[in-house]
Chains A and B, each alone.
Chain A
Amino acid sequence: MKKTKLGEFEELVLLTVAALQQDAYGVEIKRELEERLKETLSVGSIQSALKRMEEKGFLTSAFGEATLKRGGKRKRIYYTTSLAHKVLREMKDIRAGLWSAMPKLSHQLKVTFN
């Protein structure tokens, strides 16, 4: 997977964007992630992750509709790029490979500890 430089938190945000599809804008991403991680996140951390990934080419974005609740300001909807899908899949494969290699490893580990 070469130098994709996707951090753990970034990966989570990226996955959330992919999952939310048309609803993927700042507040919604934050809400979704907070629910899943069961912890509160700051707007700053989500936003900076989004902007970084946009720079790296994992995300693109476009303005969505404005709501009254937002004081008439438009949302920015994020979309995953094909690069993102490729990298996410790679990550998943690497993880899966590692998981499948685990029984052997865990067995050996046990031996060492006993």
Chain B
Amino acid sequence: MNQPNQPSPPTWPLKLLRFFVKKEYAEEIEGDMEEIFYDNLEKYTVRKVRRIYAWETVKLLRPVLIKKLMVFQYFNQFNLVGNYFKTSSRSLMKNPMSSFINVFGLSMAVGICVLWYGFATWVNDTDQFHENKNEVYLVTFFINREGKEQQFGTAPAPLGEMLQQDYPQIKKICRINDSPVVIKYNENVFHERLRFVEPEFLQLFTFPLKWGSPSSLNDLNSIVLSEEMSIKYFGEDNPLGKTIKVIFSESNSKEFAVSGVAKKFPESRSVDFDFLIHFDNQKIATPIYDGTDWRSYVNATLIQVENPNDISLIQQGMSKYKNLQNEKHSEQAISNFGFVSLKELYRKSMDIRDGICPPNYEGNTKAVIILGVLTLFLMALACFNYINIAIVTAAKRLKEIGVRKVIGATRSKVITQFLSENIFVTFFALLFGLAIGMFIFIPGFEQINGFSMEFTLAHQNLWLFLVAVLFITGMISGLYPALYISRFEVVNILKGSSKFGTQNPMNKILLGFQLILACILVTCAVMFTQNTDYVAKRNWGYNQNDALYAEVHSRQAYEQLYAAMAQNPNVTAIAGSANHIGKNYGTTVVKLPPNKEYEVERLGVDANYFATMGITLVKGRSFNLHPEADKHSVIVNEEFLKNLRSHAIAQGQIEWEEPIGQQIKIDSMRYEVIGVVKNFHSYSFDSKILPLIFTVANKADYHFLTLRVRSGSEPEAYAALQTHWNKLFPEIPFQGSYQEDIWGNFFVRIQNHGRFWQAIAFITILIAGLGLYGLVTLNITGRTKEFSIRKVLGAQTSHIATGILRQYFILFAGSFLIGVPVSYSLVKFLFDIAYDYHVPMNYLSITLAVSMLIFVLLFVVLTQVNKVAKASPVNGLKVE
């Protein structure tokens, strides 16, 4: 029957059969199956016969017929596993101290793990809740500057509409424009951030609504609020149908009916809104607004396509719009358009300038990495504790192991036993750790950093993550002790001639490692604490004290407020400006002959601004008091000069030796450099000092009024400023503050970083200290007899103490010898990536950290030495 054209039974069931069925039955059953197969061939089609064959094979897998496989053997010894469990819990109960140290340390580490997981998912899940994240794209464009392509998140106003007409693949478009406005409800007025959007906004960004419907945005007179804003204006009531007045400017305002309130936004989001109104209201806000002008930009244009693959097609056709744009707006030639999907928008936010998505992904990713490294460090500390204690306590368990081996346990069985014991301990730690993470670490972290990560136990991969943590930590901490303990020969164990625990070099290596880790983390904590102090004292580059500012909405408002404040006896100087340090900057492109371009920050100010803000002029002169005199003059900062010079030197030229009198071009206008000011921090110490220029501001553009007041009179002047304002402009809320408060919560944040690291250092010292305590205690109790005999023979307490201390001294000294330089470079690295301006790396912090650690170490060791010293030798000799 083996003719080549004869169908044969399928092979996989045969393999299955051969693998599972008992060897002695295999031939018979295989034969039977084959016979039936060929019999059936005469009755049915080949396919059916094969199917029957396969199904019959599966049905053959019955307990009577199949081999006893490894798995089943294992289960047959279920009693043994049960026994492991029993001995494990017994040994845990018998050594409450070491069990506590292990479980405590591991729980702490697991707690941090949970925190890390929560934070990492919070960062990674940002914006991922939008249903159309794969189909929605932000239109961006590129501009080539100084050889680098820069991506911008804004778009020419007419582009969106044209795209939709040209491409049927584009389902929806949405233009977004943001505008600061004043919102009035009853007698309450507030400055708010308003978004002009196309009605599709709520379909692209699928924020669910609490009240109202998304389609209501189609109505020109509707306004949609965020939950936060709804509560701010209307409390917990349903505000649908209520009218609020939006004041766009002094002359333009409009009443809107509330038609929707969004549900509370998910915490992991990068794009949201306070108020939404129909895009066409833009015409009412700014009557001269022209949506067909290629020179006017909208804050964002988003498109939704049918299929993500369509985007490459659209991308190919974008050169048409590029040419159109460059024709109409030739001063700012773009090199290309691009698209960024909503799914990736947050991740790419760092590269997109002026985007609707705040560029904090990089910062958060750094934080995730740092926290991840910390987690690993703490995990290592806890695992090392476990290993150390397991090695030292091995002596106590040797008899048990010996007996087990004699009854026939193989080495692998002993290893399994110890590993399962360890997984058991880790499991406990995991439960505690989860609780610690959820109820202490995460809320603490959220409080310190002022956000909520909405951590839930229901997160999709959390349990998978925890199981992974369980097994990985279980393996790392348990593998070495298991291998070490199972290695002993039965005969030696039972004879009592095996030496263990005290002489294992692994103990010392791990302890040394722990000390190095502790040294790094404690140094970090000290440095971060120092940094809090440092930033509080660091010079801002100008005089931020005794300075006030107020935002004004028009030139008239400026003049009125100026007139009112000029009479105040406390005011020593007043300045008007279009931009203001720490608040608002223009950016502009400076052209230098022959054809170099630099992007710089630009502040439009008046002549008094430098004196008012205490900016120091290092060279040249300030602006002339007569506003027309210096219309074509600029004052630059040192950074500007430095960049320019280094660039020139790199090209082998010597330029700008004397900056005063040099010519630059802005927007095809010539300007002459008349002065250089000392560098100052435009923003907080978070951002680098950038090249910057001052120009004389047009009076019509004044947006800020700045005051310098007599020292100590700040509160009075501030009160006067507010009173005058409220008298002059009762319809518009006052916006202004002390200059020293302009960085918002920067100092609080730096202080909180310090607090976070102090907490980490505390946990580190706790885990390492406890581990050392356990180790020393076990070591000393193991030598009780020896100490007692020595004492009886007349040894001094000091002799015994130095004996114990010497044992650790070399270890401590060695660890710190390695730990100090490692800490130095690692902490320096960390600070350099975390902050642009921070306290310089110093040895004081390391010295402090090391002394702290030495203190803890000595304390731990000496308490134990003290115990030995006080103990009566008689009790020691009575042991066993």
* A68 close to B (CB within 8 Å): yes
Decide: B28 and A26 in contact? CB cutoff 8 A: yes
Q: What separation, in Å, do the CA atoms of A55 and B65 have in the docked complex?
A: 12
The segment from A1-9, A69-77, A83-91, A100-108 that touches chain B is A69-77
Residues in B neighbouring A25, C-beta threshold 8 A: 28, 32
* B38 close to A (CB within 8 Å): yes
Chain B, residues 53-74, CB within 8 Å of chain A (1/0): the string is: 0001001111011000000000
Q: What separation, in Å, do the CA atoms of A3 and B28 have in the docked complex?
A: 30
With beta carbons under 8 angstroms apart, the residue of B31, B33, B62, B64 that contacts A66 is B31
Name B36-63 residues within 8 Å CB distance of A.
36, 38-39, 56, 59-62
Contact A69 B1, CB 8 Å, known A43-B29, A52-B64: yes
Q: What separation, in Å, do the CA atoms of A26 and B30 have in the docked complex?
A: 11
* B741 close to A (CB within 8 Å): no
Residues in B neighbouring A51, C-beta threshold 8 A: 25, 64-65
Residues in A neighbouring B61, C-beta threshold 8 A: 44
Chain A, residues 32-68, CB within 8 Å of chain B (1/0): the string is: 0000000000111101100110000000000100111
Q: What separation, in Å, do the CA atoms of A47 and B29 have in the docked complex?
A: 8
* B44 to A: closest C-beta gap in Å: 12
With beta carbons under 8 angstroms apart, the residue of B25, B34, B62, B65 that contacts A70 is B34
Decide: A42 and B25 in contact? CB cutoff 8 A: no
Tally of chain A residues near chain B (CB < 8 A) = 23
Decide: B29 and A71 in contact? CB cutoff 8 A: no
Decide: A26 and B1 in contact? CB cutoff 8 A: no
Q: What separation, in Å, do the CA atoms of A112 and B36 have in the docked complex?
A: 51
Decide: B28 and A42 in contact? CB cutoff 8 A: no
Chain B, residues 574-604, CB within 8 Å of chain A (1/0): the string is: 0000000000000000000000000000000
Decide: B65 and A69 in contact? CB cutoff 8 A: no
Contact A47 B35, CB 8 Å, known A42-B59, A74-B27: no
* A12 close to B (CB within 8 Å): no
Q: Which residue of B lies closest to A51 (CB)?
A: B64
* A27 close to B (CB within 8 Å): yes
Decide: B64 and A26 in contact? CB cutoff 8 A: no
Residues in B neighbouring A30, C-beta threshold 8 A: 32, 36
Contact A73 B28, CB 8 Å, known A44-B65, A48-B65, A67-B35: yes
Q: Which residue of A lies closest to B61 (CB)?
A: A44
Q: What separation, in Å, do the CA atoms of A63 and B32 have in the docked complex?
A: 13
Decide: B35 and A44 in contact? CB cutoff 8 A: no
Decide: B38 and A69 in contact? CB cutoff 8 A: yes
Q: What separation, in Å, do the CA atoms of A69 and B34 have in the docked complex?
A: 7
* A58 to B: closest C-beta gap in Å: 14
With beta carbons under 8 angstroms apart, the residue of B2, B32, B59 that contacts A26 is B32
Residues in A neighbouring B1, C-beta threshold 8 A: 68-69, 71
* A56 to B: closest C-beta gap in Å: 12
Chain B, residues 503-533, CB within 8 Å of chain A (1/0): the string is: 0000000000000000000000000000000
Q: What separation, in Å, do the CA atoms of A75 and B36 have in the docked complex?
A: 13
Q: What separation, in Å, do the CA atoms of A44 and B312 have in the docked complex?
A: 58
* B2 to A: closest C-beta gap in Å: 8
Name B727-784 residues within 8 Å CB distance of A.
none
With beta carbons under 8 angstroms apart, the residue of B31, B38, B56 that contacts A75 is B31
Decide: B27 and A69 in contact? CB cutoff 8 A: no
* A65 to B: closest C-beta gap in Å: 11
Tally of chain B residues near chain A (CB < 8 A) = 22
Decide: A47 and B38 in contact? CB cutoff 8 A: no
Q: What separation, in Å, do the CA atoms of A69 and B38 have in the docked complex?
A: 7
* B39 to A: closest C-beta gap in Å: 8
Residues in B neighbouring A47, C-beta threshold 8 A: 25, 29, 32, 60, 62, 64-65
Q: What separation, in Å, do the CA atoms of A75 and B34 have in the docked complex?
A: 11
Contact A74 B31, CB 8 Å, known A44-B65, A69-B1: yes
**Chain B contact surface mostly:** helix
Q: Which residue of A lies closest to B33 (CB)?
A: A43
Q: Which residue of B lies closest to A76 (CB)?
A: B28
Residues in A neighbouring B30, C-beta threshold 8 A: 71, 73
* B407 to A: closest C-beta gap in Å: 30
Q: What separation, in Å, do the CA atoms of A74 and B602 have in the docked complex?
A: 97
* A16 to B: closest C-beta gap in Å: 15
Decide: B31 and A43 in contact? CB cutoff 8 A: no
Q: What separation, in Å, do the CA atoms of A74 and B34 have in the docked complex?
A: 11
Q: Which residue of B lies closest to A29 (CB)?
A: B32
Q: Which residue of A lies closest to B55 (CB)?
A: A42
Decide: A43 and B64 in contact? CB cutoff 8 A: no
Q: What separation, in Å, do the CA atoms of A44 and B13 have in the docked complex?
A: 14
Q: What separation, in Å, do the CA atoms of A76 and B60 have in the docked complex?
A: 17
Residues in B neighbouring A75, C-beta threshold 8 A: 28, 31-32
Name B134-176 residues within 8 Å CB distance of A.
none
With beta carbons under 8 angstroms apart, the residue of A27, A48, A52 that contacts B32 is A27
Decide: B56 and A43 in contact? CB cutoff 8 A: yes
Q: What separation, in Å, do the CA atoms of A42 and B60 have in the docked complex?
A: 8
Decide: A48 and B64 in contact? CB cutoff 8 A: yes
Chain B, residues 239-279, CB within 8 Å of chain A (1/0): the string is: 00000000000000000000000000000000000000000
Residues in B neighbouring A74, C-beta threshold 8 A: 27-28, 31
Residues in B neighbouring A27, C-beta threshold 8 A: 32, 35-36, 39
Q: What separation, in Å, do the CA atoms of A43 and B2 have in the docked complex?
A: 23
With beta carbons under 8 angstroms apart, the residue of A42, A68, A71 that contacts B56 is A42
Residues in A neighbouring B27, C-beta threshold 8 A: 73-74
Decide: A69 and B35 in contact? CB cutoff 8 A: yes
Residues in A neighbouring B28, C-beta threshold 8 A: 25-26, 63, 73-76
Name B16-32 residues within 8 Å CB distance of A.
25, 27-32
Question: Which of B2, B25, B27 counts the most A-chain CB atoms under 10 A from its CB?
Answer: B27
Q: Which residue of B lies closest to A66 (CB)?
A: B31
Q: What separation, in Å, do the CA atoms of A69 and B62 have in the docked complex?
A: 25
Residues in B neighbouring A26, C-beta threshold 8 A: 28-29, 31-32
Residues in A neighbouring B32, C-beta threshold 8 A: 25-27, 30, 43, 47, 70, 75
With beta carbons under 8 angstroms apart, the residue of A42, A45, A48, A73 that contacts B31 is A73
* B674 to A: closest C-beta gap in Å: 100
Decide: B62 and A48 in contact? CB cutoff 8 A: yes
Q: What separation, in Å, do the CA atoms of A63 and B24 have in the docked complex?
A: 11
With beta carbons under 8 angstroms apart, the residue of A43, A67, A68 that contacts B60 is A43
* A73 to B: closest C-beta gap in Å: 3
Q: Which residue of A lies closest to B1 (CB)?
A: A68
Residues in B neighbouring A73, C-beta threshold 8 A: 27-28, 30-31, 34
Q: What separation, in Å, do the CA atoms of A75 and B35 have in the docked complex?
A: 10
Question: Which of A25, A30, A42, A45 counts the most B-chain CB atoms under 10 A from its CB?
Answer: A42
Residues in B neighbouring A71, C-beta threshold 8 A: 1-2, 30-31, 34
Q: What separation, in Å, do the CA atoms of A47 and B28 have in the docked complex?
A: 10
Q: Which residue of A lies closest to B30 (CB)?
A: A73
Question: Which of A26, A47, A52, A63 counts the most B-chain CB atoms under 10 A from its CB?
Answer: A47
* B861 to A: closest C-beta gap in Å: 68
Q: What separation, in Å, do the CA atoms of A26 and B36 have in the docked complex?
A: 10
* A59 to B: closest C-beta gap in Å: 13
* A91 to B: closest C-beta gap in Å: 22
Decide: A70 and B31 in contact? CB cutoff 8 A: yes
Q: Which residue of A lies closest to B64 (CB)?
A: A48
Q: What separation, in Å, do the CA atoms of A70 and B440 have in the docked complex?
A: 71
Q: What separation, in Å, do the CA atoms of A68 and B35 have in the docked complex?
A: 9
Residues in A neighbouring B31, C-beta threshold 8 A: 26, 66, 70-71, 73-75
Q: What separation, in Å, do the CA atoms of A86 and B664 have in the docked complex?
A: 119
Q: What separation, in Å, do the CA atoms of A52 and B64 have in the docked complex?
A: 7
Residues in A neighbouring B39, C-beta threshold 8 A: 27, 69
7 contacts between A and B (CB under 8 A): A27-B32, A27-B35, A47-B65, A48-B62, A66-B31, A69-B38, A75-B28
Other contacts beyond A25-B32, A47-B64: 14, CB < 8 A = A42-B59, A43-B32, A44-B56, A44-B62, A44-B65, A47-B65, A48-B65, A51-B25, A51-B65, A52-B64, A69-B1, A74-B27, A75-B31, A75-B32
Residues of B within 8 A of A (CB): 1-2, 25, 27-36, 38-39, 56, 59-62, 64-65
Closest 9 CB pairs of A and B: A73-B31, A70-B31, A26-B32, A76-B28, A44-B59, A44-B60, A48-B64, A42-B59, A48-B62
